[in-house]
A = this chain, B = another copy of it.
């Protein structure tokens, strides 16, 4: 088992929340790890025939696009620049509470219907090249003919690249479908990544299982506990996501077309599958802890047996040697010529008797 990174702090980060205390509700304030990178806004517009993709500088550009035919997808990488959030919000008519939630990267996955659009937030997990698990909040707004997506950070090798590629390559039917299908595609990418994360966890579990059965150390318990924590974290991300998707399926806003239901149901099945796997992993981890603890007891038993066997054989013999080392003036056995050999005879007899006793008690297997 290779050494692992120290377990990530899994308790929620409320950084920045205090700054907010006292503000009226609906004031977007960035809560989360402080970031400084520039926020990038990317615009993708497409219909079955045409495709327009570019970075936009002035967010106000988007105003012109709204209401035009085709699908508009605005992807914002970085939610720490509150001004950009506000201008996007103004442009698409978002409620201040929505902007507040987007800026607060400490959200529980949820789905809310507003007048004219659906707001949903989920947590994207990904495995970086160095093997670490990174967690990021993704907010998606589904409106008539447009989708807005907000990620915490710009990264190369974005999970949304798959969707972008499909749009560019005009693969599958993404260019033929509406904004709801695009939103589905984004959700699907997010959920697909959970499988990768589970795969990684699965491998760590296998390593752990070997370690537990083989030569468990203190480190093993800590690793078990660390994985348990990660499972709690995963569960907290995926469980409400299930509700988000079933919320979309039940939505009566008319923003989700019936034809998209079948795809959403597919994503829903994936989340159930992931939950199932997470629960199985938790069961396995509990089982490992049980094995570990019982192996501790087993080892203690073994150590104690060795001590007891040695002590039980030699302590009486040492006493006997002590007896014949006494200086009593009158100690008849000492005078016997065969006394010494008799002593050894008694010693061997005692030792053999003890060993037979231990054999019978099954202490010597």
Asked if A221 meets B294 with Cβ closer than 8 Å, knowing A14-B199, A303-B363, A304-B300, the reply is: yes
**Residues of chain B within 8 A of A316, CB atoms compared:** 310, 314
**A51-59, A84-92, A138-146, A171-179 - interface stretch:** A171-179
**Residues of chain B within 8 A of A95, CB atoms compared:** 262
Minimal beta-carbon separation of A175 from chain B (angstroms): 11
Q: Does A265 contact B (CB under 8 A)?
A: yes
Contact A291 B337 (CB under 8 A): no
Q: Does A9 contact B (CB under 8 A)?
A: yes
**Residues of chain B within 8 A of A1, CB atoms compared:** none
8 Å CB interface, A271-312 against B:
272-273, 276-277, 280-281, 283-284, 287, 289-308, 310-312
**Residues of chain B within 8 A of A221, CB atoms compared:** 290-291, 294-295
Q: Does A10 contact B (CB under 8 A)?
A: yes
8 Å CB interface, A36-68 against B:
none
**Residues of chain B within 8 A of A308, CB atoms compared:** 303-304, 306-307
Asked if A300 meets B299 with Cβ closer than 8 Å, knowing A25-B266, A312-B306, A325-B326, the reply is: no
**Residues of chain B within 8 A of A22, CB atoms compared:** 162, 165-166
**Residues of chain B within 8 A of A305, CB atoms compared:** 303
Give the complex CA separation of A90 and B355 in angstroms.
73
Contact B297 A294 (CB under 8 A): no
Size class of the contact patch on chain A? 35 or more
Asked if A265 meets B112 with Cβ closer than 8 Å, knowing A195-B14, A304-B300, the reply is: yes
Q: Does A252 contact B (CB under 8 A)?
A: no
Give the complex CA separation of A53 and B250 in angstroms.
45
Q: Does A331 contact B (CB under 8 A)?
A: yes
Per a CB cutoff under 8 Å, which of B266, B276, B290, B300 touches A297? B300
8 Å CB interface, A229-286 against B:
229, 232, 236, 262-263, 265-266, 269, 272-273, 276-277, 280-281, 283-284
Give the complex CA separation of A244 and B192 in angstroms.
24
Give the complex CA separation of A319 and B315 in angstroms.
8
Specify how many copies of this chain sit in the oligomer.
Answer: 5
Per a CB cutoff under 8 Å, which of B11, B173, B296 touches A24? B173
**Residues of chain B within 8 A of A97, CB atoms compared:** 262-263, 266
Q: Does A222 contact B (CB under 8 A)?
A: yes
Contact A295 B218 (CB under 8 A): yes
Contact A312 B307 (CB under 8 A): yes
Give the complex CA separation of A281 and B11 in angstroms.
8
Q: Does A215 contact B (CB under 8 A)?
A: yes
**Residues of chain B within 8 A of A165, CB atoms compared:** 22
Q: Does A335 contact B (CB under 8 A)?
A: yes
Minimal beta-carbon separation of A197 from chain B (angstroms): 11
Q: Does A168 contact B (CB under 8 A)?
A: no
Contact B18 A196 (CB under 8 A): yes
Contact A315 B310 (CB under 8 A): yes
Asked if A218 meets B298 with Cβ closer than 8 Å, knowing A24-B171, A289-B290, A330-B339, the reply is: yes
8 Å CB interface, A195-243 against B:
195-196, 198-199, 202, 205-206, 213, 215, 218, 221-222, 225, 228-229, 232, 236
Supply 7 further A-B pairs (C-beta < 8 A) apart from A23-B171, A297-B297, A326-B327: A11-B205, A12-B202, A97-B266, A293-B297, A300-B304, A330-B338, A330-B339
